[in-house]
């Protein structure tokens, strides 16, 4: 029977995703056919699988670490917060319905069947599952509705390691409280990890010995605080200004501002821009930042119309129209592309209570929203420069018409060939997420602004894929050296 190991946390953001990513790579290095799993993820960071299914981005990164293809069964339930409407619930890669918490909990049995079906499927394909929990497993008001923490561990009889975040304080109390509140599942808990430690490890020794005695569970390891962890946060609340800190002999900086929307989604789209030594990237809606930008990007949004209304309330739309005349490059990705058009029409009230709203009006297109969602990987090329090839993925509820001619792409989920995106002078938009992961295209955009500033274009092209792979390798090294791998091998029985 396939083996399993589960990583749970005393809280959200304790470091579960990173640890699972590292363990997937460590196991793969040892020749084990391993796969990640998270029964239920709540995130606006998503990824599209080859067959067109939508899963959490973290599970896709974990699959890359395991060197297996991301699969809808690795994250059978994905929740995407939709404001007052509740959350859009995605089951096995496709939209199920939008529900508020009470409605969601009432469908526990149906969702649990999706979880167990996924686990049973993955067990037939892999030797080992590394499973990530969600939030805290000890939310005693929600345990009866659980489909992601101890319910999964019990179903697989999987050993559980609890991760505590010492950086937020109270780590010993949180570990003790978590274990004791899970008294009916305590036998499954086999140890704990202290994460994000800064300072002298010796200082922790007395506390570790005492907590080991109190809960009768061993410490599996102490992981130091890892700067620049490299995996985007699950939500947008932790976004901060990110000036590239690479040491560079390049002169000049290209300033890029991503609009910090209220419902920003898939902001991982812009992580590749951070690796460029001549780029300064910030998230902002401040007038001063926009006035000093070389490039302004309107990102994707889970609530496009609501975020468009925000842009208008702040006067950002008017500022963008003025800046467009000053040759500032303005880019729209997915929902941002829709906002740049003349009009957004929502006859079925998919997006909001408004049936129609004027866009910013910088592109000769308009969008109509439909109840169905388009999810597919794509590949193709820049229509005016066939030598520049691109890959990415679409995730959107809406179709845009007008002067669509920027990219020529093939939708891999359906096989259809279409045109995507629109451009007008220094303004352009596209539905393609991950567009800046294409190294030659990313450097083309940056070099255009170097030349505009009288600087020499940079010939060297950074490899985003290599940087991701190097990060995973380094992460695996750090985690392996911080944990008692001998204990972990014994737990999984391999």
Quote the DSSP letter at residue 431: S
Alpha helices in 160-204 (DSSP H): 171-181
Our answer to whether residue 219 is catalytic in this structure is no
Beta bridge partners of 95: 90
CA gyration radius, the chain? 23
Please provide the size of the chain in residues: 494
The H or E element containing residue 162 is strand 160-165
CA separation for the pair 17, 21 (Å, rounded): 6
Alpha helices in 131-258 (DSSP H): 150-156, 171-181, 205-215
Active-site entry in 126, 185, 396, 433 = 433
Cβ contact 151:113 at 8 Å: no
The three-class DSSP label of residue 319 is helix
Active-site entry in 24, 92, 185, 334 = 334
CA angle 118, 122, 123 (to 5 degrees): 115
Cβ contact 48:391 at 8 Å: no
Tokens of 490: 């014994």
CA separation for the pair 57, 233 (Å, rounded): 10
Q: What backbone torsions phi and psi does residue 38 show, to the nearest 5 degrees?
A: -140, 115
CA separation for the pair 329, 446 (Å, rounded): 11
Our answer to whether residue 348 is catalytic in this structure is no
Catalytic positions: 334, 433
């Amino acid at each position: 029977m396939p083996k399993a190991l589960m990583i749970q946390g005393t809280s959200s953001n304790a470091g579960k995703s990173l640890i699972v990513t590292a363990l997937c790579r460590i196991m793969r290095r040892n020749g084990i056919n391993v796969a990640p799993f998270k029964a239920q993820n709540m995130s606006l960071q998503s990824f599209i699988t080859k067959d067109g299914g939508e899963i959490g981005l973290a599970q896709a990164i974990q699959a890359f670490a395991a060197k297996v293809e991301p699969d809808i069964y690795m994250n059978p339930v994905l929740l995407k917060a939709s404001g007052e409407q509740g959350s859009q619930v995605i089951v096995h890669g496709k939209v199920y319905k939008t529900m508020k918490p009470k409605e969601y909990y009432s469908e526990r049995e149906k969702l649990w069947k999706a979880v167990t079906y996924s686990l049973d499927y993955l067990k037939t394909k892999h030797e080992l599952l590394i499973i990530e929990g969600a939030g805290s497993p000890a939310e005693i008001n929600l345990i009866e509705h659980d489909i992601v923490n101890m319910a999964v561990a019990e179903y697989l009889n999987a050993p559980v390691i609890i991760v505590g975040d010492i950086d937020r304080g109270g780590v010993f109390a949180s570990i003790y409280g978590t274990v004791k509140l899970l008294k009916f599942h305590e036998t499954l808990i086999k140890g704990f990890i202290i994460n994000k430690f800064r300072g002298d490890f010796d200082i922790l020794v007395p506390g570790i010995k005492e907590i080991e005695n109190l809960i009768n569970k061993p410490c599996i390891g102490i992981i130091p605080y890892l700067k620049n962890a490299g995996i985007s946060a699950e939500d947008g609340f932790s976004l901060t200004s990110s000036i590239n800190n690479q040491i560079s002999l390049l002169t000049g900086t290209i300033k890029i501002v991503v609009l910090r929307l209220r419902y920003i989604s898939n902001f991982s789209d812009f992580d590749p821009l951070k690796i460029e030594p001549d780029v300064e990237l910030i998230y902002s809606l401040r007038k001063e930042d926009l006035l000093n930008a070389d490039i302004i990007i309107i990102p994707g949004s889970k609530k496009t119309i609501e975020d468009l209304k925000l842009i208008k309330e702040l006067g950002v739309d008017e500022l963008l129209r003025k800046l467009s005349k000053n040759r500032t490059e303005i880019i729209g990705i997915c929902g941002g592309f829709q906002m740049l058009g003349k009009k957004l029409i929502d006859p079925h009230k998919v997006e909001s209570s408004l049936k129609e709203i004027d866009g910013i009006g910088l592109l000769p297109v308009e969008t109509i929203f439909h109840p169905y969602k388009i999810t597919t990987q794509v590949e193709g090329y820049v229509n005016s420069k066939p030598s520049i090839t691109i890959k990415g993925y679409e995730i959107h509820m809406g179709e845009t018409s007008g002067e669509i001619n920027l990219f020529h792409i093939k939708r891999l989920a359906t096989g259809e060939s279409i045109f995507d995106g629109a451009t007008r002078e220094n303004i352009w938009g596209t539905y393609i997420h991950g567009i800046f992961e294409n190294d030659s295209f990313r450097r083309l955009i940056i070099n255009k602004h170097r030349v505009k500033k009288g600087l020499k274009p940079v010939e060297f092209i950074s490899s985003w894929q290599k940087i991701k792979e190097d990060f995973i390798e380094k992460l695996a090294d750090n985690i392996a050296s911080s944990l008692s791998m001998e204990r972990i091998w014994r737990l999984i029985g391999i």
